[in-house]
Structure 1
């Protein structure tokens, strides 16, 4: 399952609310009343995103943005309002983009300049949208090239659940980027990127993404170089040694 954008932040936020609840036992509402409705609609929007119901996701986003319009907010309320506003801005760009509205790309990139911690998951979606709607995003990739190059040094993470989720995002990014380049007939760099996706899928035991990478490789195999074919063969042999065949039966 592909978790919604910023899912970890939303879980952390829920835990924070529970913590405040414990600290404010004397207050009937343990945190501001509007927070309940706003957060519920934010989660509804996230569910719609997973279901690719982007228009509905935008509608729920509008709801929680309206809910947080509070007169004379306290310091605590203002802190929560700003957090919801930040989520709403990024999510609106995302939902519009995934729904095929390419005009939001430039403001979305400006948003990412101010929120660099969201660059990875944002570019997973930007490249995916480019593949789905035949968009040219070369200028976006060039603009954030220093960050994308940094992915190469950060992507081999193991251990915690959060690291596994992060690895999955790296895999998805390279897979979508490979598809983008291959569709543009840039076969050399496309295959190279696809092999990166397959290598990371293999090392992370992400069998579903391994299958998708193998399938995409097969579609463009006639364009690979001898060196790339040798690298692919080594990766497949590595998968075989990991009992890959028996694992995929359970997928």
Structure 2
């Protein structure tokens, strides 16, 4: 039997014994408008809000008759954007995925309607409903043939930002999928994209790729800075480039990620050159209050990273001074600092038991990190701790730290690293061998 939106509404009205006047009173919809909706020739279109109100009055769940609503939005190939977008948003909100999947193919009979899907995705994204925006960005990507079009490239970027998580394998696939489009973005979005690429590759321990994106970020930030400075000095018309963070933030981050990527490759002296750049960015001429705050943050990071590079280079005389400095930093910076101290202790064979005791409460709180960078730092810290404890002959603690490494690697889906951590148990074998040799000599 054929069902239509109006026949269903009429059946429910009669079932409850409501006159149009009574129904108008209950819904707040003008009875004359109700009459035009139900009996007009042609009938007046019904809004999704009015349908929701009717559903409530008739005692139905949200999403009632949504499968029939597209007839209000699409007629003879023509689309009513003012009705379609609110309808699809409501489908998202009430979980009517089936209605979305049925409606999109009808829309795509005219390729121009792809802009409606993009506008909807952007609306959801800006409202903070980022996961909900994913299917619509995917529709744009799947249906747009021009990979250089603004909405195609922007959809790739939005997906890249939304999908980033803690799963290493998925993050790497995300980087591979998005990176070819990074240079097609407008410069303001490109700055953020390069920062995110450098950041996630750093968390994935792909130091050379992180360095590459940091280089691109440094070049772009410098180019944009010079352009903005020239525009300001020449008093050229037009708005300044709008970026998610102040321009000095991206300029500093390009140098920061360059330095830490070099650090992770053991190139400490070269890394120091880039730390010196972001240690004092007060010369930046486009600073406002937000920009000056960013400059101060970079000063703190530069000082901490200078200590890090000194310690890793073998300058153990500043360990206590470094520890005093870490005392005044937030937990994430303490984690980064202890990482360097532990790596140095294992490389140059000195004792840091007092420092570990001093920061015991912070170390106990490292489980709070749930994003990729924090989890990666935590994993590297536990790895250095395992080496340290085994080296001190504290086998039980070494085993605990090794198991910690394996659990964090599993959480990050970095199962390919498991063998690295399992080989730490070789300390036990070496210890048992030494004990056996001593027993034989004693015998």
Give me the TM-score of the superposition, normalised by structure 1: 0.65
Gaps of 5+ in 2: 1-203, 229-237, 433-443
- Look up the match of 1:2: 205
| SS across alignment from 1:68 | coil
- Look up the match of 1:130: 345
1:105 corresponds to which of 311, 314, 319: 319
- Look up the match of 2:273: 59
- Aligned partners of 1:68, 1:196: CA distance in 2, in Å? 42
For these two proteins, the number of residue pairs brought into alignment is 203
Q: Residues 79 and 222 of structure 1: is their aligned pair in 2 closer, same or farther, counting only changes over 3 Å?
A: closer
Gaps of 5+ in 1: 225-251
- Aligned partners of 1:83, 1:45: CA distance in 2, in Å? 16
- Look up the match of 1:172: 380
Q: Residues 60 and 219 of structure 1: is their aligned pair in 2 closer, same or farther, counting only changes over 3 Å?
A: same
Alignment of 1:173-212 (within 5 A): 173-212=381-420
Q: Are 2:389 and 2:397, in contact at CA under 8 Å, matched by a contact in 1?
A: yes
- Aligned partners of 2:422, 2:279: CA distance in 1, in Å? 43
- 1:150 paired with 2:353, answer no
How far is 1:167 from its partner? Answer: 3.0
- Look up the match of 2:289: 75
- Aligned partners of 1:214, 1:33: CA distance in 2, in Å? 44
- Aligned partners of 2:352, 2:251: CA distance in 1, in Å? 37
Q: Residues 211 and 33 of structure 1: is their aligned pair in 2 closer, same or farther, counting only changes over 3 Å?
A: closer
Give me the TM-score of the superposition, normalised by structure 2: 0.39
Q: Residues 70 and 127 of structure 1: is their aligned pair in 2 closer, same or farther, counting only changes over 3 Å?
A: same
- Aligned partners of 1:194, 1:74: CA distance in 2, in Å? 47
Q: Residues 66 and 203 of structure 1: is their aligned pair in 2 closer, same or farther, counting only changes over 3 Å?
A: closer
